[in-house]
Structure 1
Amino acid sequence: MGYEFKRKGVHVALGPLVGPLGRVATGGRNWEGASNDPYLTGVLAAETIRGIQDAGVMASLKHMIGNEQELYRFPTKDTLNRTVDKLLNGLLKTELGFKGFVVSDWDAQHTGTAAALAGLDMAMPDGQAFWGANFTEAYLNGSVPISRLDDMATRIIASWYKLGQDKPSFPSIGIGMPYNLSEPHRIVDARDLASRSTIYQGAIEGHVLVKNHKNVLPLKHPKVLAVFGYDAKAPPQYMPNRNNLRTNPFLLGYEASFNQLPLALSQTQIDWPSQLQIAINGTYSVGSGSGANSGPYISAPLDALQRRAMKDDTVVYWDLAMEPGLSGFYEAADVCLVFINAFASEGMDRPGLHDDYSDGIIQTVAATCNNTMVVIHNAGVRLVDQWIEHPNVTALIFAHLPGQDSGNSLVDLLYGDAVFSSKLPYTVLKNESDYGDMLYHSHAIAPYSYYPQSDFTEGVYIDYRAFDAKDVTPRYEFGFGLSYTTFEYSNLRIVKSEGAYAGAYPVGKIGDGGQVDLWDILATVTATIKNTGSMKGSEVAQLYIGIPGGPMKQLRGFDKVWINPRKKVKVSFDITRRDLSQWDTTVQKWYLHPGPYTLYVGASSRNLPLDGTLYI
């Protein structure tokens, strides 16, 4: 995941553990984030951090806040100015009690004294341009107090000790990779066979089924299966570039778009060609940019389907070079699978949320094949309303970015050897215009023609919270996803915690994540879920809370439970003071509003059959 760097024996994993929140729908790096919801993103990031640091490796969250578009990202005459409250010293190190060190992205330090005073502790890949001898002068003449220098060093060294990297049992520093792979070097195989099942299961969990008309899935030994679309095959090249690791398409996830996309992307180009909506040269298994990686193989969908066809004695036809408007012998197929993708990359924001070329392929196939299933490998939101209501489009899967087991995992899901159980971490609307001001990046317009301005005036109203407030009807709402079975919710119970402090503001000392009593449990919510279908399956139960004066509802809990047919399972959610609080900009603390809070439990942000009231 991203880079790993070693400095003075310190092992740090740099990866997009927390990417953009999807504030801008066409943001080029939205795929690096876990979700458009901050609660879900926070929970998943915390679990990822624990996993990395349990192995003794420091986890570095990138990027903190505000990196919501690629346009005007780098310092030029028209660098984007993002207006957000002061973050590093005030929010991160004081309010949240962060004791680690703050590290810049590669070549992202652009000031010396100001960066140090603002809270930057380490510059990568080095700080010679702005620090070095200049920094020595800065603390000698008092521009940077010695206490700040001590704090920087303490945070870095303390992190080294916290992860046990000082112990003799800690593995020695890795040997790294040569800049030129053609040079003689020792090859290290860092793969762990024990991780194979985790990688595969991650691919399974990344698929979201959103349409399954008359239960056409799972497939039941089709006699003839036809495959269409540029995304079904493996990319024509999957080979490391021997000359330059940093611009290597093999490492940066550009395999499916190589020869189509310039690797030296410009962050100041406003209107990208529409063909950059897709990666035309093969299946899109990982996002593109410095957060990408490349596995030991790519299981392409067509390859995996052919292996299954050999087992089932199914006939497979395919036409992956089809242009919209051409016709084929679709009538013979029991099932037509169309594979398209939605490309996104660091270095550019997406031109839009759909492309006419891919939509044309789907419409052409659906015009003749009465059982057309669509699979989209999408690095972000992808609109589907040009064809989703076509009577011959029977199924739709947002496959996202499955990695090396792309085809293997998809085929297991299509045939029911694995079950769909995941939900959308973002909202899919019906039209691009429905996203309003949050569709595209901020531009350089008067009076900021040379200093583009991006004001985060929407506050917390991003994705479903904004669409709820504006009464926008989505195609597929946040948290939506189908299974091969059905579920029923009942028996909502809300129990307040006895003796819990419920004053207006927290009074505890600062710990990891803020004042410690922010995490006091004020109530517990339980509900019962029954599998009402005939197949086994997992359901993601979701808890939303309507906070007085805030959004209509915000995600505040989720639980994924496995339920056998006709059986019931109880789910439980603890509600903390922080879950119910709003930030008071005057007092600069989390405020617990007295009064009623509406609680909802259900299957998605707009399918919430259970609701009740919690009084504070």
Structure 2
Amino acid sequence: MHSNLLPGLTSAATLLGLAQGQSQPYHDWAKAYEAAEALVSPWTTEQQANISVRYGTAPGFVPFEPSDGPTGVSGGQGVSGWVGGQTIASSWNRTLLADHYGRMAVEFREKGYNMLLGPSTGPLGRSPLGSKLWEGLGSDPYLNGKLFGVSVAAIQEQNMISCGKHYLANEQETNRTSYGSDDPAMRTSSNLDDRTLHELYLWPWIDGVANGMGSVMCVMNRVNGIIGCENDHIMNGVLKNETGFKGFIVPDVTAPLDKTAGLNGGLDWNSGYSLSQLMAAVNNGSISESVVNDHALRIVATQLNLLLPPEEYASTDETTDLNVRDAGSKDFIRRAGSEAIVLLKNKNGTLPLKSPKSLGIFGKDAANLATGPTPQSDFSNFAGDTYDGHLITGGGSYSPAPYVVSPLDALTARAAEGQGFGYKYILSDNWTVTPPESTGEGFFQTSGVSVSEYASESEHCLVFINAFGKEGSDRRTLADETGDKLVNDVADYCSSTIVVMNNAGVRLVDAWIDHENVTAVLNAGALGQESGHAIADVLFGDVNPSAKLVYTIAKSEDDYNGQICACCECDYTEGLYIDYRHFDQAEIEPRFEFGFGLSYTTFSHSNLTITPTTDTTTLAAYATGNVTEGGPSDLFDQILTITASVSNTDDIAGAEIAQLYLSFPDAAKAPIRQLRGFEKVYLEPGVTKTVTFPIQRRDLSIWDEEEQGWKIVGGDYGVLLGKSSRDFTAEGSIEISTFR
């Protein structure tokens, strides 16, 4: 930190705190803005402008210290390697995500940073080939938003600023920026209608704003023809005015090109201008003093609202080698990882493994090979469809990890503990399948190691494959032929073949899923530093899997509709119909649907009850309340309470995720079904609990493009309770009448 300025800021902050009868952080935007006004108003225009310049100071103001890394402190030493966003989202556990991001935020704070560039809500998932989807929180806006909101709140509870990423419609890496060119037309333009913008891509951001999010990172790509970090409509019009966002906007790298347009369009900090360049734009009238003042107020108010006084944070210059890993972090990461593993197949109860005698271990993903423990940073080049070793994270923003526990490490530890099994391994995806001709005779005869030999000699065969995705270059396939062949080669010789996929996004399985000897499949994602232990915990039944897919796994890549666009106009002609919404609308049978996931126990649902909490026969069609954080205040009014009973019908304790979907009246022209509630409940054998789904006005609304407002369309609303987006256990309906 800039210690020479600390006394000035401490004094100013203390005086402001005394004046308000409250000390920093305020945790009250109105009081924070009042205090910010008192601090900023005596400044000259140049002083106000200076704090929107990176590392710029002003009387009584010290700049904040940001650090990137949605999976940990970027490039940091002595920090943890956390579970990837899309992976931990598969837990569907709000409490787990809050704990995860709260613990991560503590490491940032102890390193001297007070702004965490994360979590990532976008990309959402227009195309499964989008290579940064592993950072996000799933392909449904409702699920994504709920998890995004609690994660933002958890970070900021640690006296940190959460900077949500990436606003808005950053759905592919291809041509997201124009490397080596200042021509904006060389950047992809996400061209989408206003309803799609609001109901899909803006939806999770509303949850972030409603949870007090302090900062937002705008995108490098264009949105409807205008670079995201220069786009007045999406930054000022939508984010700041419509949703009532009180914080400040920062740019992603290389954005904007037109810095004046960026600052006028809503970009508050680090436009790329020096102070002299910024003041030249002010003096020639290109940027008004009121714009400069607004930027300064937003930056100062956010700090006063969320951060401790600056002397409470360590200097980053002094923490480079400081170990800030909490003793309990590794155990938490292991537990979080195991809760995020989705069990896709379990034929004849293959899992959990029951006192196995011999295991065959196959595939490069089983061990730490080549280089590591995490991928090298490379923001522009394609780095392959798979990772040459055990995958614990995707690539980008320099994801840290102090070490990696691979599956082979974890299995070795269990074998060493005397659990009664031995193993053989082939740490390659492309090994000889059948034995070569033998050499020698008698005692000296040998035939060499082969997949068929090791597989046929093993009671169970564990095949580890992965799918890699990284910042800067989109994926080129959703399945690699070499990995598919390895699974089939092992399964041809092993009657109990268990496939474990560590994947940065969707990985197709149809090349082998119906093989009679493929008896179990785990979709393990990017599990962080304790990956191997988390996988072993599920394999051996120490953890009963409870995760569900946060995207759809198709039978064929051609079944998806959103594609990566070539340079440089990308028309979102699919509109609202991405992921399961598309599969439902197009009547395409997926291999594994959104929300799917098995357990080692069984559950039943019953007693679906729909109770209005207001008069649903005379509802105003439009939300018209004063704008608060998130939008019109009445947008968050509760309209319905829906309850159901969930029972554990087996003899093993476990957790079930009850999912609630709504179907809208035909006049709404909405997707066939949309997720509007989920609740994860842990149940001992034979126990029944009640789950509750509060339904807000927002959950029943569509975006009316003509009226530019959130509207409830009157008519019959279907209510579907289920275990996934296609497996429903109870149905009901309610009639809603509206007036203008």
Establish whether TM, by shorter chain, passes 0.5.
yes
Structure 2 residue corresponding to 1:231, chosen from 348, 365, 373: 365
Matched, 1:568 2:685: no
- Inter-partner Cα distance in structure 2 for 1:535 and 1:16: 35
Structure 1 residue corresponding to 2:587, chosen from 471, 478, 500: 471
Write out aligned runs for 1:444-459 (5 A). Answer: 444=567, 452-459=568-575
Task: Kindly state the Cα deviation for residue 329 of structure 1 after the two structures are TM-superposed.
Answer: 3.2
Task: Kindly state the Cα deviation for residue 324 of structure 1 after the two structures are TM-superposed.
Answer: 6.1
Assess if the C-alpha contact under 8 Å between 2:114 and 2:307 holds in 1: no
Higher helix share: 2
- Inter-partner Cα distance in structure 2 for 1:34 and 1:110: 29
Write out aligned runs for 1:494-533 (5 A). Answer: 494-499=610-615, 502-533=619-650
- Inter-partner Cα distance in structure 2 for 1:167 and 1:403: 31
Matched, 1:289 2:393: no
Matched, 1:462 2:578: yes
Assess if the C-alpha contact under 8 Å between 2:330 and 2:530 holds in 1: no
Write out aligned runs for 1:579-590 (5 A). Answer: 579-590=699-710
Task: Kindly state the Cα deviation for residue 73 of structure 1 after the two structures are TM-superposed.
Answer: 1.4
Structure 1 window deviating more from structure 2 (544-553 vs 357-366): it is 544-553
Is the partner of 2:154 in helix, strand or coil? helix
Letter in 2 for 1:441: I
Structure 1 residue corresponding to 2:190, chosen from 69, 82, 95: 82
| TM-score, with length taken from structure 1 | 0.88
Letter in 2 for 1:56: N
Structure 2 residue corresponding to 1:372, chosen from 483, 497, 500: 497
Write out aligned runs for 1:287-436 (5 A). Answer: 287-290=394-397, 292-310=398-416, 311-321=418-428, 322-323=430-431, 325-326=433-434, 327-436=452-561
Task: Kindly state the Cα deviation for residue 553 of structure 1 after the two structures are TM-superposed.
Answer: 0.8
- Inter-partner Cα distance in structure 2 for 1:470 and 1:148: 47
Assess if the C-alpha contact under 8 Å between 1:544 and 1:553 holds in 2: yes
Matched, 1:212 2:346: yes
- Inter-partner Cα distance in structure 2 for 1:176 and 1:482: 48
Q: Which residue of 1 aligns with 2:98?
A: none
Letter in 1 for 2:623: P
Q: Which residue of 2 aligns with 1:258?
A: none
Q: Which residue of 1 aligns with 2:380?
A: 265
Q: Which residue of 1 aligns with 2:165?
A: 62
Q: 1:504 to 1:188 in 2, by over 3 A?
A: same
Q: Which residue of 2 aligns with 1:609?
A: 729
Tell me how large the CA RMSD over aligned residues is.
2.0
Partner deviation per Cα, 1:116-151 (whole Å, 9 max, x = no partner): 12110112xx623xx533321222222222111111
Of all paired residues, the percent bearing the same amino acid is 40
Letter in 2 for 1:127: G
| TM-score, with length taken from structure 2 | 0.74
For the pair shown, which has the larger CA radius of gyration, 1 or 2?
A: 2
Task: Kindly state the Cα deviation for residue 264 of structure 1 after the two structures are TM-superposed.
Answer: 5.9
- Inter-partner Cα distance in structure 2 for 1:138 and 1:166: 32
Letter in 2 for 1:53: Q
Q: Which residue of 2 aligns with 1:120?
A: 267
Assess if the C-alpha contact under 8 Å between 2:424 and 2:454 holds in 1: no
- Inter-partner Cα distance in structure 2 for 1:364 and 1:586: 58
Q: Which residue of 2 aligns with 1:543?
A: 660
Partner deviation per Cα, 1:498-522 (whole Å, 9 max, x = no partner): 3577201112111110011111110
- Inter-partner Cα distance in structure 1 for 2:427 and 2:143: 37
Q: 1:594 to 1:398 in 2, by over 3 A?
A: same
Q: Which residue of 1 aligns with 2:41?
A: none
Partner deviation per Cα, 1:581-601 (whole Å, 9 max, x = no partner): 000001111001111110111
Q: 1:17 to 1:547 in 2, by over 3 A?
A: same
- Inter-partner Cα distance in structure 2 for 1:443 and 1:329: 45
Letter in 2 for 1:526: T
Is the partner of 2:172 in helix, strand or coil? coil
Assess if the C-alpha contact under 8 Å between 2:378 and 2:472 holds in 1: no
Structure 2 residue corresponding to 1:24, chosen from 115, 127, 148: 127
Assess if the C-alpha contact under 8 Å between 2:357 and 2:459 holds in 1: yes
- Inter-partner Cα distance in structure 1 for 2:379 and 2:129: 20
Letter in 2 for 1:79: R
Q: Which residue of 1 aligns with 2:222?
A: none
Assess if the C-alpha contact under 8 Å between 2:635 and 2:697 holds in 1: yes
Structure 1 window deviating more from structure 2 (42-51 vs 159-168): it is 159-168
Q: Which residue of 1 aligns with 2:375?
A: 254
Assess if the C-alpha contact under 8 Å between 1:22 and 1:36 holds in 2: yes
Is the partner of 2:272 in helix, strand or coil? coil
Structure 1 residue corresponding to 2:600, chosen from 484, 492, 511: 484
- Inter-partner Cα distance in structure 2 for 1:391 and 1:304: 28
Structure 2 residue corresponding to 1:277, chosen from 356, 360, 385: 385
Matched, 1:196 2:330: yes
Is the partner of 1:277 in helix, strand or coil? coil
Matched, 1:149 2:264: no
Assess if the C-alpha contact under 8 Å between 1:324 and 1:360 holds in 2: no
Letter in 2 for 1:349: D
Assess if the C-alpha contact under 8 Å between 1:231 and 1:284 holds in 2: yes
- Inter-partner Cα distance in structure 2 for 1:73 and 1:460: 22
Is the partner of 2:710 in helix, strand or coil? strand
Letter in 1 for 2:391: Y
Task: Kindly state the Cα deviation for residue 577 of structure 1 after the two structures are TM-superposed.
Answer: 0.1
Task: Kindly state the Cα deviation for residue 10 of structure 1 after the two structures are TM-superposed.
Answer: 7.8
Partner deviation per Cα, 1:15-61 (whole Å, 9 max, x = no partner): 34213011111011111111011111111111111111001110001
Structure 1 window deviating more from structure 2 (393-402 vs 110-119): it is 110-119
Partner deviation per Cα, 1:335-379 (whole Å, 9 max, x = no partner): 000000000000110011001000010010000100000000000
Write out aligned runs for 1:432-443 (5 A). Answer: 432-436=557-561, 438=562, 440-443=563-566
Partner deviation per Cα, 1:554-606 (whole Å, 9 max, x = no partner): 11111100111122111110000000000000111100111111011110000
- Inter-partner Cα distance in structure 2 for 1:545 and 1:53: 32
Q: 1:264 to 1:422 in 2, by over 3 A?
A: closer
Letter in 1 for 2:462: L
- Inter-partner Cα distance in structure 2 for 1:10 and 1:388: 46
Assess if the C-alpha contact under 8 Å between 1:413 and 1:420 holds in 2: yes
Q: 1:576 to 1:566 in 2, by over 3 A?
A: same
Is the partner of 2:144 in helix, strand or coil? helix
Q: Which residue of 2 aligns with 1:135?
A: 278
Is the partner of 1:159 in helix, strand or coil? helix
- Inter-partner Cα distance in structure 2 for 1:16 and 1:325: 44
Residues paired across the two proteins, number: 564
Matched, 1:554 2:674: yes
- Inter-partner Cα distance in structure 1 for 2:339 and 2:269: 36
Q: 1:563 to 1:613 in 2, by over 3 A?
A: same
Letter in 2 for 1:508: G
Q: Which residue of 2 aligns with 1:107?
A: 254
Q: Which residue of 2 aligns with 1:259?
A: none
- Inter-partner Cα distance in structure 2 for 1:167 and 1:288: 32
- Inter-partner Cα distance in structure 2 for 1:324 and 1:164: 59
In structure 1, runs of 5+ residues without a counterpart are 178-185, 239-249, 256-261, 267-271, 445-451
Task: Kindly state the Cα deviation for residue 228 of structure 1 after the two structures are TM-superposed.
Answer: 0.2
Letter in 2 for 1:542: Q
